[in-house]
């Protein structure tokens, strides 16, 4: 039976993500002065789990790095080293590199070898710096399986050689590696000394150094089975418990590649002599393993097929020849249902398929609803009742399926404590980060897409918004700047706000910058229009370019990203009080609220998030600017009119000829408003969004398609694209109209 | 591209011809998934638990022919689980295999003293696991 391990990779990736997140959040919160033992254990366990999984599923690079990390954390956890700020930095750096490697295994960009070796060396230096033992040097991993380990050797020394000072000899070995004595030699039984010796030296090198003190025929060195390909499995033979000394030794009934079975332990019958059995036999050398601590020794009842049957035995109870079964009442616990029963991992593709099917169902249901409206309500009472029940059920089903894709925004927010900590350190600023509404849920598809834009906004706030402590104090503010990330639901949208209490946006500087870049601006622009300018490509008011921000790339990309998710971004700012940037996103990409409009024979859908109002224009409100098309005056503001008929090349649209007989839908995209000219408003409803690109091809100005109740396909307009098409000429025309009026 | 799995049910007829029941206790979802998949493909019935306490609860609520437990887990670790299981009359003789990333002798001795039947070092190959399980419970 061959098993394809790659089928388990996704779960491994997911759980590694969780472990890395745990590691980071614990590291960020750890109190260096008095680290909490449970915290240290949690970090260690995270590294340990990643290592185990990585080695199992063949990610040697992850396993190698986590192995070193685990070494360091183990020392800290056991108290042989103190946790330092440098260690926390190193561990955080390791976490980043691991996340990068994980990304590479998922098909992303490979992590630079230099970054990996740099963090490995850093960790190794730390391991070496604090412990009494020299650091284990980790060899580069060659195979795709196990993490590299130091060589572990069994060294057996004949005892009682008259000229040999054993303690001194062993002392000399500790200079070369880690040593633990398995069995002290001597005594009446003339037992040999047996030690386990771990070092980077090969067996022959150890033999060479031993040969200075003891002649080669009096010691034997054998290799431990620490490598992945041997000795990881065994079965134990019976061995005796020496009750007075509470030590016992095990026999291996059976040992082979990576697996072992223990034979049951037999209780020493009335003997107080410490007896020891063979654990391992090879080339005439035996080994005994001590058992640490008092152990309940199982009594052997009988033996078959390489394993024994035990009966529990109370320690220090003299055992009769006939085995007795001492029934120890285990504390009955309330049966806690483990988490594994309450959640299942489902591939996102399956959820998407389900969502799609539900979408089809909703379309069919709305078709039925529409067709049934023509039926006689009395005659078809039962059918109509059924259809309205179907409508209710399919709506509930749709909501239930959508909720499966919903993920708390904490998945995005959780990265920011780290981002803020690192950046504040770099910029020499003091920041207090507050996160509100982390449990607000949004579509999983947005989670990944939100990370970059939000990171950019946070960096911007820290770099340009929050002032240095000196400046803040001079302004009468507290030296510590405050950055708040807030998420909340509002209607069928989710709103995410990034608020800082920094200097705020500088209106004059933005306008000056805009003029400098030859942008057509006037002092009459409203604040929100001025703030909107920073989303222009290549716009930056940073007086100096830092490596944090100020290269003038970014805000336009942020805006584009948010718009591509069907969302919008707004800025609110006050000098010296700070800035709030709010992102508004639909709850899901699959279902959307929209307004359906008719242009000629065709139906188009305008996403409701862009719609401000609709109106029927009167002739005096219309104005034509030569070469610039038509404008409409809406409450004193001239907005460019975009005829959808002209935009999409319809010849059958009546609106194109006479706007006063048509409808204008006022939309806003990115702080820029325009009026779309359509023949008729049909209605407002929820639409199931279908991807146009996958079903047909990419169409300029369209963000998707939907199927109407009557089975017709309607295209969903991409308002931000249409707005961008018209922005430049239209802005000029609007100013022209203003000056004409003046 | 999933490998072709032959569903061989090499269950020894143990009188009642029921599939053997295995409890796997591990805090790592991916390892659990692999163990479960491997053993189910070979015809075993598998129940999962995510930590020592959960494993003990499952063991008490049900009966198993074999228990596989990881050593390093939050809450109750593998050694403590084995000790607790060995105190239950129902599990006095049940084979318990300890999965551990540490192949040190000390760990083996501790496992043996706690009452483990054997150990298997992580990382292991699924085939290896299957061989060992077959060896223990047929």
A619 exposure class (CB count in 10 Å sphere: 0-12, 13-18, 19+): exposed
Report the range of poorest mean pLDDT among A402-406, A422-426, A733-737, B75-79.
A733-737
Name residues 93-112 of chain B within 8 A of A (Cβ): 93, 95, 101, 103, 105-106, 108-112
**Is B101 close to A42, i.e. CB distance below 8 A?**
no
Residue A222's pLDDT is what? 74
**pLDDT for residue A180 is more than 80:** no
- From A49, A250, A327, residue closest to B112, measured CB to CB: A250
Q: What band does A665 get if pLDDT is binned at 50, 70 and 90?
A: very high
Smallest Cα distance from A26 to chain B, Å = 15
Residue B7's pLDDT is what? Answer: 33
Q: What percent of chain A has pLDDT over 90?
A: 14
Residues of B in contact with A77 (CB under 8 A): none
- pLDDT value for A65: 93
Q: What is the mean pLDDT of residues B108-121?
A: 86
A279 within 8 A of A286, measured Cβ to Cβ: yes
In 3D space, the residue among A97, A224, A75, A209 whose CA is nearest the CA of residue A154 turns out to be: A224
Residue range A593-606, pLDDT digits in tens:
788 999 888 899 99
pLDDT of residue A666: 92
Mean pLDDT (whole number) for B31-38: 90
Q: DSSP letter at A464?
A: I
A699, pLDDT greater than 70: yes
pLDDT tops 50 at residue A249 = no
Q: How far is A470 from chain B (nearest CA, A)?
A: 46
What are the structure tokens assigned to A519, written together? 């942008």
Q: DSSP state, A119?
A: H
Distance in Å, alpha carbon of B47 to nearest chain A alpha carbon: 10
Tell me how far the alpha carbon of residue A339 is from its chain's centroid: 20
Query: What does the pLDDT read at residue A742?
Result: 55
pLDDT in tens, A282-326: 222 222 232 333 333 333 333 333 333 233 333 333 333 333 333
Query: Which runs of E-coded beta strand occur in B8-110?
Result: 21-25, 45-49, 66-70, 96-100
Answer whether A345 sits within 8 Å of B29, measured CB to CB: yes
Q: Which one is predicted more confidently, A36 or A148?
A: A36
Best residue in A7, A307, A346 to probe B by mutation, most B CBs within 10 Å? A307
Q: A88-125 burial, b for 16+ CB within 10 Å, e for fewer? A: bebbbebbbbbbbbbeebeeeeebeeeebeebbebbbe
Q: How far apart are CA B73 and CA B69, in angstroms?
A: 9
The confidence band for B4, taking pLDDT boundaries of 50, 70 and 90, is very low
Closest Cβ–Cβ partner in B33, B114, B132 for A11: B33
- Flag if B37 and A8 touch (Cβ within 8 Å): yes
Give the model's pLDDT for residue A484.
Answer: 94
Question: How many Å lie between the alpha carbon of A231 and the closest alpha carbon of chain B?
Answer: 8
Taking the CA of residue A174 and the nearest CA in chain B, the distance in Å comes to 18
Contacts of B122 in chain A (CB under 8 A): 52, 55-56
Residues 6+ apart with CB under 8 A from A385: none
Tell me how far CA of residue A394 lies from CA of A53, A348, A706, in angstroms: 42, 21, 17
Three-state SS at A658: coil
Q: Is A487 helix (H, G, I), strand (E, B) or coil?
A: strand
pLDDT at A622: 85
Q: Cα angle vertex A154, ends A149, A159, to 5°?
A: 155
Q: Write down the pLDDT at residue A175.
A: 67
pLDDT for A142: 37
Q: Is B124 on the interface with A (CB under 8 A)?
A: yes
The pLDDT assigned to A338 comes to 37
Indicate if the pLDDT at residue B93 is higher than 60. yes
Residue B56 has pLDDT above 90, yes or no: yes
Q: What is the pLDDT of residue A129?
A: 80
Say if residue A52's pLDDT is above 70. yes
Q: Which of A230, A226, A215 is nearest to A154 (CA)?
A: A226
Q: How far lies A709's CA from each of A373, A399, A712, B17, in Å?
A: 12, 19, 7, 57
Sign of CA dihedral A56, A59, A60, A66: negative
CB distance A1–B130 less than 8 Å? Answer: yes
Asked if pLDDT for residue A502 goes beyond 60, the answer is yes
- The DSSP output letter for A332 is P
Residue A229 pLDDT exceeds 70: no
Nearest to B118 among A3, A57, A259 (CB): A259
Q: Is the pLDDT of residue A582 over 50?
A: yes
Each residue's pLDDT tens digit, B121-138? 888 888 888 888 888 888
Sheet holding A629-634, edge to edge: A611-615, A663-669, A672-678, A637-643, A629-634, A622-625
Indicate the length of chain A as a whole number.
742
pLDDT for the residue numbered A739: 61
Contact B92 A336 (CB under 8 A): no
pLDDT of residue A383: 92
Note whether A304 and A292 are within 8 A (CB): no
Cis check for the bond before A259: say yes or no (omega within 30 of 0).
no
Q: Does the beta-carbon distance from A52 to B31 stay under 8 Å?
A: yes
Asked if the Cβ–Cβ distance from B109 to A340 is below 8 Å, we say no
Smallest Cβ–Cβ distance between A45 and the set B50, B74, B130 belongs to B74
Using pLDDT thresholds of 50, 70 and 90, give the confidence band for residue A253: low
Nearest Cβ partner for B92 among A225, A231, A311: A311
pLDDT in tens, A89-130: 899 999 999 999 999 998 888 888 888 999 999 999 998 884
Q: Kindly report the backbone phi and psi dihedral angles of residue A60, in degrees, each rounded to the nearest multiple of 5, phi listed first.
A: -60, -35
Q: What's the pLDDT band for A134 if we cut at 50, 70, 90?
A: very low
Chain B residues with CB under 8 Å of A307 CB are 95, 117-118, 136
Q: What is the pLDDT of residue A122?
A: 92
Neighbour-count burial of A448, counting CB atoms closer than 10 A to its CB (0-12 exposed, 13-18 middle, 19+ buried): exposed
Nearest chain A alpha carbon to B129: A259
- Region A150-162 average pLDDT: 73
Burial class (CB in 10 A: 0-12, 13-18, 19+), A725: middle
What b/e string do you get for A335-372 counting C-beta neighbours within 10 Å, with b at 16 or more? eeebebeeeeeeeeeeebebbeebbebbbebbebbeee
- Please state the rounded mean pLDDT for residues A201-216: 75
Could B30 and A12 be called an inter-chain contact, meaning their C-beta atoms sit closer than 8 Å? yes
Radius of gyration of chain A (CA): 37
Q: How far is CA A33 from CA A36, A38, A83, A92, A181, in A?
A: 10, 15, 8, 18, 35
Q: Which two tokens stand for residue A360?
A: 């089809």
Which has the closest alpha carbon to A712: A414, A363, A330?
A363
Query: What integer best gives the mean pLDDT of chain A?
Result: 74
Min mean pLDDT across A182-196, A449-463, B97-111 is at A182-196
The more confidently predicted of residues A564 and A426 is A426
CA distance A268 to A286: 20
Please say if the pLDDT value at position A545 is more than 50.
no
Dihedrals phi, psi of A661, to nearest 5 degrees: -95, 5
Alpha carbons B6 and B3: distance in angstroms, whole number: 10
Statement: residue A331 has pLDDT above 50: no
pLDDT at A17 over 70: yes
Judged on CB neighbours under 10 Å (0-12, 13-18, 19+), B40 is middle
CA dist A210 and A230 (Å) reads 26
H or E segment to which residue A22 belongs: helix A9-29
d(CA B19, CA A312): 27
pLDDT reading at A652 higher than 70: no
Backbone angles phi, psi at A114, to 5 degrees: -65, -40
Provide the pLDDT for residue A728.
Answer: 59
Minimum CA–CA partner of B133 in chain A: A259
Using an 8 Å CB-CB cutoff, list chain B residues near A23: none
| CA A39/CA A535 separation, integer angstroms | 43
* pLDDT above 60 (res A704): yes
Looking at residue A335, its pLDDT comes to: 38
């Amino acid at each position: 039976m061959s098993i394809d391990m790659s089928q388990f990779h996704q779960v491994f990736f997911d759980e590694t993500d969780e472990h890395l997140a745990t590691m980071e959040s614990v590291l960020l919160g750890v109190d260096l002065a008095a680290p909490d033992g449970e915290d240290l254990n949690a970090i260690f366990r995270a590294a340990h789990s990643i290592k185990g999984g990585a080695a199992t599923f063949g990610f040697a690079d992850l396993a190698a790095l986590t192995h070193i990390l685990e070494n360091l954390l183990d020392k800290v956890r056991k108290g042989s080293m103190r946790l330092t700020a440098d260690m926390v930095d190193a561990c955080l750096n390791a976490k980043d590199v691991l996340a990068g490697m994980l990304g590479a295994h998922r098909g992303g960009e490979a992590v630079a070898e230099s970054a990996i070796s740099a963090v490995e060396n850093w960790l190794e230096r730390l391991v070496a710096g604090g412990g009494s033992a020299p650091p284990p040097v980790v060899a580069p991993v060659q195979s795709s399986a196990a993490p590299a380990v130091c060589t572990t050797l069994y060294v057996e020394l004949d005892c009682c050689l008259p000229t040999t000072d054993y303690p001194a000899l062993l002392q000399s070995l500790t200079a070369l590696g880690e040593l633990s004595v398995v069995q002290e030699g001597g005594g009446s039984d003339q037992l040999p000394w047996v030690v386990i010796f771990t070092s980077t030296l090969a067996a022959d090198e150890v033999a060479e150094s031993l040969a200075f003190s003891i002649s080669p025929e009096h010691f034997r060195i054998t290799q431990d089975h620490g490598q992945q390909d041997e000795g990881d499995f065994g079965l134990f033979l019976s061995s005796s418990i020496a009750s007075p000394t509470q030590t016992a030794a095990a026999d291996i009934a059976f040992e082979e590649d990576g697996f072992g079975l223990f034979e049951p332990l037999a209780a020493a019958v009335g003997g107080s002599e410490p007896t020891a059995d063979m654990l391992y036999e090879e080339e005439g050398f035996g080994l005994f393993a001590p058992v640490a601590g008092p152990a309940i020794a199982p009594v052997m009842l009988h033996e078959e097929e390489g394993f024994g049957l035990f009966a529990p035995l109370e320690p220090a109870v003299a055992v009769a020849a006939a085995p007795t079964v001492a029934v120890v009442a285990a504390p009955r616990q309330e049966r806690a249902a483990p988490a594994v029963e309450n959640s299942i991992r489902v591939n996102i593709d399956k959820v998407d398929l389900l969502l799609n099917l539900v979408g089809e169902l909703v379309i069919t249901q709305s078709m039925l609803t529409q067709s049934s409206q023509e039926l006689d309500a009395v005659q078809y009472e039962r059918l109509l009742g059924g259809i309205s029940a179907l409508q209710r059920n399919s709506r509930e089903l749709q909501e239930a399926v959508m909720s499966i894709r919903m993920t708390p925004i904490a998945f995005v927010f959780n990265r920011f404590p780290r981002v803020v900590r690192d950046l504040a350190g770099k910029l020499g600023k003091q920041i207090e980060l507050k996160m509100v509404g982390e449990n607000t849920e949004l579509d999983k598809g947005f989670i990944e897409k939100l990370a970059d834009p939000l990171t950019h906004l946070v960096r911007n706030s820290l770099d340009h918004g929050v002032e240095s402590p000196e400046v803040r104090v001079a302004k009468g503010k507290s030296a510590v700047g405050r950055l708040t990330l807030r998420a909340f639901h509002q209607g069928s949208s989710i709103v995410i706000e990034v608020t800082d209490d920094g200097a705020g946006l500088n209106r004059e500087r933005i306008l000056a910058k805009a003029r400098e870049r030859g942008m057509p601006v006037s002092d009459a622009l409203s604040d929100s229009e001025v703030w909107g300018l920073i989303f222009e490509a290549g716009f930056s008011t940073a007086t100096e370019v830092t490596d944090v921000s100020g290269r003038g790339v970014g805000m336009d990309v942020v805006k584009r990203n948010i718009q591509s998710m069907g969302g919008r971004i707004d800025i609110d700012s006050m000098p010296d009080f700070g800035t709030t940037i709010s992102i508004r996103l639909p709850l899901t990409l699959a279902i959307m609220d929209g307004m359906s409009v008719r242009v000629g024979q065709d139906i188009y859908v305008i996403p409701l998030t862009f719609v401000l109002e609709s109106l029927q224009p009167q002739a005096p409100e219309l104005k034509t600017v030569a070469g610039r098309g038509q404008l409409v005056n809406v409450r004193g503001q001239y907005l460019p009119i975009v005829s959808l008929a002209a935009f999409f090349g319809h010849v059958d649209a009546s609106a194109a000829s006479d706007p006063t007989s048509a409808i204008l839908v006022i939309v806003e995209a990115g702080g820029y408003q325009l009026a779309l000219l359509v023949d008729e408003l049909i209605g407002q409803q929820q639409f199931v969004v279908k991807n146009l690109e996958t079903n047909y091809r990419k169409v300029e100005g369209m963000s998707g398609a939907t199927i109407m109740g009557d089975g017709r396909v309607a295209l969903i307009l991409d308002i931000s694209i249409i707005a961008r098409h018209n922005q430049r000429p239209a802005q000029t025309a609007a100013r022209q109209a203003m000056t004409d009026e003046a | 591209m999933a490998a072709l799995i032959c569903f061989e049910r090499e269950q020894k007829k143990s009188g009642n011809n029921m599939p053997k029941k295995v409890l796997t206790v591990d805090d790592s979802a991916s390892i659990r998934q692999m163990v479960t998949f491997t053993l189910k493909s070979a015809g075993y019935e598998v129940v999962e638990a995510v930590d020592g306490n959960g494993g003990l609860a499952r063991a008490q609520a049900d009966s198993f022919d074999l228990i596989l437990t990881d050593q390093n887990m939050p809450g109750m670790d593998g050694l403590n689980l084995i000790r607790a299981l060995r105190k239950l009359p129902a599990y006095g003789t049940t084979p318990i295999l300890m999965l551990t990333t540490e192949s040190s002798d000390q760990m083996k001795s501790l496992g043996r003293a706690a009452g483990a039947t054997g150990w298997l070092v992580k990382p292991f190959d699924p085939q290896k696991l299957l061989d060992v399980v077959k060896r223990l419970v047929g």
